[in-house]
Structure 1
Amino acid sequence: MQSRTRQAATRITYDIAPVAFFSTDGNPWSQLQLYNIYRLVLAGALLLVALTEHLLPKGIIIESQLFNNVIATFTVVVILQNIAGYMKWPDYEKQIYLSSITDIVALLLIIYASGGVSFGLGILLVLPVIIPNLFRPGQFALFITALTVISLITIEMNIQSQGHAQLSELSMTGVLSLFMMISSWIAMNWSGNAQHTAHLAKRWGLDLASMSQLNQAVLDQLQTGVIVIRDSRHIQQMNTAAIEMLGNPEDWLDQPLGSFAPELDAWYQHWSEKQRPKVASFDVNHQGAMAVRARFVQLGVRASETSLIYLQDTQEEREKLQDLKLASLGQLTASIAHEIRNPLGAISHAAQLLTESDALSKADERLTEIIITNSIRTDSIINTVLNLSRRKHPKRVSIPLKSWLNHFYEDFLAQNKLQDD
C-alpha cells in the first residue's frame, strides 16, 4: 500500500455580510429592487389620482397645486432611484435610507395637501417607516420613525388650526402614529433576531464544513480503505486508500458500488440478505487481481441505515506472515548452527592435537591441515548465519584475492583427490 501524505488545510473566515431576509439567493439588492417596484406602483397610483383629481369631491384636496407637483416630482425621483438600484450606485445602505426618506417626505406633503389623514393616505407611511428598521436597524432608523410621527402630528394639528379637519381626525393621527412606532419596534427586534440567527447559521455551516474536511483528512491518512454506502447501495464517501484499492475510479460519488467493484457489491448484497449482522468479514478478490478483506459494519439500528465497508489489502498481511516465517527460520537456523559449533570445535581441537604428533606421515599432515582449514571455514559460516539471525548489519571486509584463490584451488584439489597438472 502506498503511503498517502495528503494534507487538508482549511482557512475559515467569519466575515458576516448583511443578510437578506426576503430573497432566496441571499442578495440584499434583490429586496431593494422589490421595494422599488412597490414604489413604482405607488407612484403610478398617485399619478392616476392626480390626473383624476377633478372627479373627486370638492374640498378634499386643499392644496391642489402642491398635491400635483409633489406627485409628479415623486414619480420622477422614484424612476431615477429605480435606475440607481439596478446600477447599484450609491451603496446599498445609502439607497435604503434615501428611498425611505423620499417616500416619507413625499407622503407627508401629499397628506398635507389632501387635508390630513382623512383622505386615507396616512397608512402608506407605515412601510417606508419600517423599511430602515427592517433592513438596517439602528438608532438612525428609530430617529426616522420618531421624526415621521412628530411631522405627521404637526401636519394634522396645522390642518386642524386652519379648520380643514375635524377634531376626531387628530385621534386617528395618534392611533396611526402609535401603530407606526409599534411596527418599527417589532421590525427592529425581529430584524436583529433574524440577523443573529443568520450569523449563527453561517458560522455553524462553516464549522460543519471545517469538520467535514478534517474528517476527510483523517480518513485519507488511514491505511485501511473506508467506504460509506447508503441503503440504495450507492457510494456516499470514500477515503484515498479505498479509491486506490478500487482502481482510482472517477465520478464515484452517488454511483452504485457494483459499477466499480462488482465482486465487493456481490458480497455486500449477500451480507444484506443475511439480515445484516452488526459486523461481518469476507475475503474478496477485486477484479481477479487484488485480494482484499472487506468488513461490513451497520450504522444505526435498522437494516435500511447507512453501512460502512472497511477494506484491508491482504498483501500486507501476507508480507507480515512471510516476515514472521523468515524470523522463525532464522531462529531455527541459529539454533542448529549453535548445536553444530560444539562438535565442530571438538573436531578442530582434535586435528590440532594430531598436528603435534611426530608419527604422522606427510599425507596425514595434509589431511589434518584440510580438516583444520574446513573447520575454520565452517565456523566462519556458522558465525555468518548467527549474525544474520541477530539481524546485524553486514560489514565489508577486504580479502587478498590471489592468496584466497590459491587456498581455494588447493582445497578443491584435496577434497576431490585430483592431481595438479
Structure 2
Amino acid sequence: MNRDARRAHVVHTGTTWRSAVTLSFYRSAIAFGLVATLSAADGHGLFAPDFPSLFRAVCLTYLALAACLAGAALVHWPGLAVHLFVQILVDVVMIVLASFSGNGASGGLAMLLLAPLAAAGILLPSRLSGLLAALAALGLIGQEILRHWQLADAHTDFVQAGILGALYFATVFVAYGLARRIRVSDASAASHASQARDMAELNRRIIDRMQTGAIVVDANDRIQILNHAALELLDYSDAESPPATLTDLPPTLTETLATWRSRHAIPPLIEVAGRPLQPQFSALGGDETPTLIFLDDARRASEQAQQMKLMSLGRLTASIAHEIRNPLGAISHAEQLLAESPRLGADDRRLLAMIHRHCQRIDRIISDVLGLARRSAQQPRILELAAWVPEMVADYRETRDDPPQFSQMGDWPFHRVRFDPSQLRQVLFSLWDNSNRHARRDRAPRIELRAHIDANRNLVLDIVDDGPGIAPDLLDRILEPFFTTAADGTGLGLHIARELCEANGARLIPMNHARGACFRILLPRTIDEDPNS
C-alpha cells in the first residue's frame, strides 16, 4: 500500500456521515441564500447579474441539488467517499456557473468555494481534493475567458481569478495538512488509549489471580478494586453481590484501617470468618487518595515458613547422615566385636548392652529425621473414612505385638476427607503408637475414634486413649521436635504427625479428655455429603 493509499485509508476510516450531513446543510443554506438574494434584488437594482435568466436557473438548480444531496446524506447513499466527492463537485460546478452568470470573479461569488474546498481537504484524500481545487481554479479562469468573449463591454479580471485559483489550492492543502496532523494525533491518542485499556485489563487479570487479597478504597470509602482472593479471604465468595463500600467489609478490618489512617501503625493480625488474616495498608498518594489494602492468609504464611524450615531441616539431616551415622556405624560394629570376646565380665557386658541400646536409639532418631525431611510430595485423594479407617485399624493390629482395642463413635457413614492416604496412615499409626505407649498397664489398651462436624463445617477426628492424659504445662510443647517424656522416645513421632497434617491442610491439636489424652485432627476440606445422593 503506497503513501497516498494509506492516507486515503486513514481519511476514509476517520470520516463519518455526520460531516457529510453538516456539509449538506451548509450547501442548502448557500443555495437558499442565493435564491433569496436574487428575489430581494429584483426591481430594486441591488444585484444585477449579467445573465439574469441563467443565474436564476443556476440558483434554483443548486437549491434542488442541495436538497437532494442532503437527503442522500441522511440515508447514507451512496458510499461515503463518492458522496463527498459528488457534493463538492456540485459546489464547484454550480458556483462557477453562478459566478459566470453573475458578475464574474470580481463579483465575490467565487469566494463561496473556499468552505467546500476546505472540507475537501479535510475529508477527502489529497489527490481528490487537489483535483477539485484544480477544477475550481480552471473553471474560474475559464468562465472569465468565456465572459470576455460573450460580453465585449463586461469587466473581466484574470488577475483576481488567478489569485482565487491559487487561494483554492492553498486552502485545500493547508486544510489537508492540518487535518492529517489532527488525524495522526487522534490515531496516536487512540493507540495510547487502547494500550492503556489493555494494560488496565492486564493489571486487572493479574490482580484477580493473585493469591494475596487486594482491595482499593477511595477517599469516600468506596471500593474500587476487590480481587477474587479478597472475596475468598473475607468469606464473600458466595455472596450475591460483592461489597461496594468500606462499611460492607468486616468490622475488624474497617476498625484496623481507621486506626492505621489515624496513626499509621503496623496493623495487627485480625480474624475474619475464623481465618487469621494479616492486613497491610498503603496510601497511593496523599491523605485524600485511595488506600491499597493487602490481605494475607496467616496460615498460608505459616505454611510457607514451615516449608522453609523443612528445607533447612533437609540440609541439616544430610549433614547428620554424613557426620553422625558413619561414626555411629563404627561404634556399633566395635560393640558387636567386643560382645564376641569370651573374657568379658558381667559389668563389661552390661556396659556393652548400654552402648548397643543407645546406638539403636540414635539410629532411630536419625531415621525419623531423615524420614521427615525426605518425605515425598503430597498426593491427596478423597477418602471415605467409614471404609478406610477400619482397614487401617486392621493393618495396625496385624503389625503390633500388643495391639490395643479400638472403638468408633459418631456418625461415620458419609464423612469423606481429602488427604494423602500414605501420610494419613503414618499420622494415625504414630498417634496410635503414642496412645498405646502411654496406656494403662492393668488391662489391654483402649483407643476410641470419634468423628463429627463442628460449627465451621470442618471434620473433627478425635483419637482418645485411656491413659493418664497430658500434663497441662506440656500441651504447648508436646508437638515440638525432640520433646519426649519417654526414656526410649525420640521426640519426633508427634512432631512428624503434625507436619504431615499441616502439609495436607489439616491441624493436629493435643488436648485432654475425660478418659485420657486426646489428639484432634481438624480437616477443613471435608466433603460430608452422601456420595450417592
Contact map agreement 2:38 2:47 (CA 8 A) in 1: no
Query: Which residue type is aligned with residue 136 of structure 2?
Result: T
Contact map agreement 2:217 2:225 (CA 8 A) in 1: yes
Which residue of structure 2 aligns with residue 256 of structure 1?
Answer: 245
The yes-or-no answer on 1:296 pairing with 2:281 is yes
Which residue of structure 1 aligns with residue 289 of structure 2?
Answer: 305
Structure-to-structure mapping, 1:194-343, within 5 angstroms: 194-246=182-234, 247-248=236-237, 255-274=244-263, 277=264, 281-285=266-270, 287-300=272-285, 302-320=286-304
Which residue of structure 2 aligns with residue 121 of structure 1?
Answer: 109
1:166, CA displacement in angstroms? 2.8
Structure with more contact order per residue of length (Cα contacts < 8 Å, sep ≥ 6): 1
CA displacement, residues 53-90 of structure 1 (integer Å, 9 cap, x when unaligned): 53352982222222222222222222221221122121
Query: Which residue type is aligned with residue 266 of structure 1?
Result: E
Which residue of structure 2 aligns with residue 9 of structure 1?
Answer: none
* 1:306–1:390 Cα change, 3 Å: closer
Structure 1's unaligned 5+ residue stretches are: 1-15, 357-374, 395-400, 411-415
CA displacement, residues 371-408 of structure 1 (integer Å, 9 cap, x when unaligned): xxxx9x999987974664354569xxxxxx9xx97994
1:389 to 372, 387, 395: 372
CA displacement, residues 194-235 of structure 1 (integer Å, 9 cap, x when unaligned): 111111111111111222222223323322122233333322
Partner Cα separation in structure 2 for residue 407 and residue 182 of structure 1: 106
Partner Cα separation in structure 2 for residue 173 and residue 77 of structure 1: 26
1:145, CA displacement in angstroms? 0.6
Partner Cα separation in structure 1 for residue 376 and residue 155 of structure 2: 113
Contact map agreement 2:105 2:161 (CA 8 A) in 1: yes
TM-score normalised according to structure 2 size? 0.55
* 1:42–1:68 Cα change, 3 Å: same
Which residue of structure 2 aligns with residue 371 of structure 1?
Answer: none
CA displacement, residues 236-272 of structure 1 (integer Å, 9 cap, x when unaligned): 323332232232467659x422223443222222222
Structure-to-structure mapping, 1:54-133, within 5 angstroms: 54-57=42-45, 60-133=48-121
* 1:284–1:46 Cα change, 3 Å: farther
Contact map agreement 2:215 2:227 (CA 8 A) in 1: yes
User: Percent identity among equivalent residues?
Assistant: 21
Which residue of structure 2 aligns with residue 136 of structure 1?
Answer: 124
Partner Cα separation in structure 2 for residue 150 and residue 329 of structure 1: 95
Partner Cα separation in structure 1 for residue 398 and residue 218 of structure 2: 72
Partner Cα separation in structure 2 for residue 92 and residue 393 of structure 1: 71
Partner Cα separation in structure 2 for residue 183 and residue 281 of structure 1: 67
Higher normalized helix content (fraction of residues): 1
* 1:55–1:119 Cα change, 3 Å: farther
Structure-to-structure mapping, 1:122-201, within 5 angstroms: 122-161=110-149, 162-166=151-155, 169-201=157-189
Partner Cα separation in structure 1 for residue 231 and residue 80 of structure 2: 48
Aligned to 2:45, the other structure's residue is in SS state coil
Aligned to 1:283, the other structure's residue is in SS state coil
Contact map agreement 2:252 2:271 (CA 8 A) in 1: yes
Aligned to 2:281, the other structure's residue is in SS state strand
Query: Which residue type is aligned with residue 42 of structure 1?
Result: I
Contact map agreement 1:286 1:292 (CA 8 A) in 2: yes
Contact map agreement 1:258 1:264 (CA 8 A) in 2: no
Aligned to 1:43, the other structure's residue is in SS state helix
1:176, CA displacement in angstroms? 3.0
Partner Cα separation in structure 2 for residue 406 and residue 252 of structure 1: 54
Which residue of structure 1 aligns with residue 500 of structure 2?
Answer: none
Higher normalized strand content (fraction of residues): 2
1:31, CA displacement in angstroms? 1.5
* 1:323–1:100 Cα change, 3 Å: closer
Query: Which residue type is aligned with residue 306 of structure 1?
Result: P
Task: Pick which of 56-65 and 220-229 moved more.
Answer: 56-65
Contact map agreement 2:217 2:224 (CA 8 A) in 1: yes
* 1:386–1:64 Cα change, 3 Å: closer
Task: Pick which of 281-290 and 291-300 moved more.
Answer: 281-290
1:290, CA displacement in angstroms? 2.9
CA displacement, residues 42-61 of structure 1 (integer Å, 9 cap, x when unaligned): 22222323444533529822
Structure-to-structure mapping, 1:359-374, within 5 angstroms: none
Aligned to 2:278, the other structure's residue is in SS state strand
1:28, CA displacement in angstroms? 1.0
Aligned to 2:268, the other structure's residue is in SS state strand
Partner Cα separation in structure 1 for residue 168 and residue 98 of structure 2: 18
1:189, CA displacement in angstroms? 0.7
Contact map agreement 2:310 2:373 (CA 8 A) in 1: no
TM-score normalised according to structure 1 size? 0.68
* 1:101–1:287 Cα change, 3 Å: same
Partner Cα separation in structure 2 for residue 200 and residue 417 of structure 1: 90
Contact map agreement 2:51 2:102 (CA 8 A) in 1: yes
Partner Cα separation in structure 2 for residue 94 and residue 114 of structure 1: 30
Task: Pick which of 378-387 and 176-185 moved more.
Answer: 378-387
Structure 2's unaligned 5+ residue stretches are: 1-7, 343-357, 378-393, 404-440, 444-533
Aligned to 1:39, the other structure's residue is in SS state helix
Contact map agreement 2:215 2:224 (CA 8 A) in 1: yes
* 1:85–1:245 Cα change, 3 Å: same
Partner Cα separation in structure 1 for residue 307 and residue 135 of structure 2: 88
Contact map agreement 1:283 1:292 (CA 8 A) in 2: no
The yes-or-no answer on 1:44 pairing with 2:32 is yes
Query: Which residue type is aligned with residue 166 of structure 1?
Result: H
Which residue of structure 2 aligns with residue 12 of structure 1?
Answer: none
1:118, CA displacement in angstroms? 3.8
- Provide the alpha-carbon RMSD of the alignment: 4.6
Partner Cα separation in structure 1 for residue 219 and residue 46 of structure 2: 77
Partner Cα separation in structure 1 for residue 38 and residue 402 of structure 2: 130
